[in-house]
Each structure stands twice: as C-alpha cells, then as structure tokens.
Amino acid sequence: MSYPIAEPIEQVHRPRRGLRSRPRSTGNYTQHCNVVYAESEGVGLVMDVFQPSVTSNGHAIVDVVSGAWRSDRVRLNEHIGLGAIDAFCDAGFTVFAVAPGSASLFTAEQMVAHIHAAIRYIRNNGLAWGIDGDGLGLFGVSAGGHLAALTALRPEPGARAARQAWFRHASDVSAVGLFFPPTDLLDYGGQRFDFARSGEHAVPRLIFPDGIANRSDQEINEAAWAISPLHLVHKGHPPFLIAHATEDAVVPYSQSERFVEALKAADVEATLLSHTGPGHPWRSVAVECGQMATWFAQRLRA
C-alpha cells in the first residue's frame, strides 16, 4: 500500500453522525490516513500524517489525539477544527497525529507506551517523510495533553544493538506544547479524579486493566499518583508551553498553574498562556495555536 491514503477506513463502533461534518481547515497540507505505527494486543495502532503544502522546515510535531482518554477519527476532526494542525503546517511542520488508543481498551500506562512506539516509528522512518527525527515537538489537548506530558517526562532510551531498527531510537522530545491538560489526578480541583465516571467520558481502564471495582483507596491513590505528571517532574525535562482558560469547567485551571510552578521549581523552562474566561477550548483558541507554532519553531531550531 502506498501513501497518501486520502480517505479513512470504516469506523465500526462510532456513530456515523459524528463523522458527517468536516472540520474547518485551510487544508494547507496533504493528509495521509491510517498509517500503522505499531500493534498492541492484536489491535493496529494508527496515525494520520499531515505534510505541509508550504516548504517543510524539516521538523515534526507529534500530536497526541485523545479526548476524555478516547481516541478515534471524531477526536482527530476536533483537533483539525481547533486550528493547531493548520498552524503547525503553516509554519512548515509535518504533523504526526497519533491515536494512542482509548480507555475502554487500554490503561494510561499502555497508551503512553503506544506514544513511545509512535515516536520510535517516526524517528525510524523520518527520512521517508522528509523530517529530521532528532528534534521533535510533542503536542496534546486535554486528555491528549495528559498523555503527552507523561510521555515527555518519562522518555525511553534507545538500544543501539537492538535487532529491530525502531528499538534503536530513543523516545525523548525537544519541546512540549499542551492545551488544558490534567496533571494531578489526586488533587483534581480539590478532590481525586472520578475514575468511576459514566457515559461518554467513562474511563473504566485508565489506571487498572480490570477497572477500579474492589480496589482499595490506597491502590487507587498510588495508581493515580503514578500517572499524574505533576508528581513526575524533575530537572532536565524539555521546555513546556501550556495554554489554559482560567474558568475551564472541564479541567481546572489550577492543573496547569500548579504544573508550571512545579516545572519552574525544577529549573525547567515553562510558560503558561492564560485565557481569561471560560472555554474547553475557547472561541479564539486559534490565536494560541499560532503562538504555539511560533514557539515550536523557535525551540526546535535551537
């Protein structure tokens, strides 16, 4: 099979109405759909690759596509509609929009492992996509921001003598841009995150493969701590740029505020772009997307 694949494949368990509307986009890219980057539990893991119509700057942004820890083409369309992919491609970046899986199938730890695999795949195949795999930017929105932060804070080294070529590559990144990420699931607006949520935002397997039923508070707290980026910060991390609305009703603003404080305390470069008012996201979020694209260009050139 050769690329580009212009059309996605069938979405078996997603209502068709969620895929009918096309997101607003300048379309300043060539979109390659359903590029398989790894396999997990017999499930193929895919990404869409957006190659800019303008001259490529030779660098790439890895976009972690996840909302409420659910990853599918509807979530990808939301990312396109946000304006970030337009902004990144306008700046000459190639964007790898990675689907890490959903909490109905995988835990957060497993989804992070998938993102590491995606980064290794990108580095191993960078020349084919016309990018330098050394300087990568990592981007995520909401739950995708949470998973991106975990990935950046716990990079995996490469093994030069590995038989499989992809394992020779490390999964570290050079800059991280996030929009309104959950960062502390033990103190989520003054209480522990509700892992027993129901409905579309259910996260039944986020911390345990079999859910939280019959788990003690201590077990849940320890597992929540282990996937809370705020508690994993130490010196030597790449720079972070985070955008968050001060009156976000979904992810408390304090999640980004406290995370940035922790990064700075560890001598890690961190900046918080605060949007005054409500929104998850807000109507003018394309402005911050443009600022993030400029920031990525500066950090990756350096």
pLDDT band for 14, please (50, 70, 90 cuts).
Answer: low
pLDDT band for 96, please (50, 70, 90 cuts).
Answer: very high
Tell me the average pLDDT across 280-300.
96
Question: Is the pLDDT at 128 greater than 70, yes or no?
Answer: yes
User: What is the pLDDT at residue 170?
Assistant: 87
Question: Is the pLDDT at 178 greater than 80, yes or no?
Answer: yes
Question: Is the pLDDT at 171 greater than 80, yes or no?
Answer: yes
249-283 tens-digit pLDDT: 999 999 999 999 999 999 999 999 999 999 999 99
Please, what is the average pLDDT of the chain?
Answer: 91
Q: CB-based burial of residue 185 (10 Å sphere; 0-12 exposed, 13-18 middle, 19+ buried)?
A: buried
User: What is the pLDDT at residue 20?
Assistant: 52
Tell me the average pLDDT across 36-65.
95
216-253 tens-digit pLDDT: 999 999 999 999 999 999 999 999 999 999 999 999 99
> What is the pTM (predicted TM-score) of this model?
0.93
User: What is the pLDDT at residue 167?
Assistant: 86
Domain 28-301 has CATH 3.40.50.1820: yes
User: What is the pLDDT at residue 1?
Assistant: 42
Q: What percent of the chain has pLDDT over 70?
A: 90
Least confident of 160-164, 183-187, 256-260: 160-164
Question: Is the pLDDT at 166 greater than 70, yes or no?
Answer: yes
Question: Is the pLDDT at 16 greater than 80, yes or no?
Answer: no
Least confident of 11-20, 47-56, 145-154, 231-240: 11-20
pLDDT band for 293, please (50, 70, 90 cuts).
Answer: very high
User: What is the pLDDT at residue 302?
Assistant: 59
Domain residue extents for the chain: 28-301
CA distance 15 to 237: 40
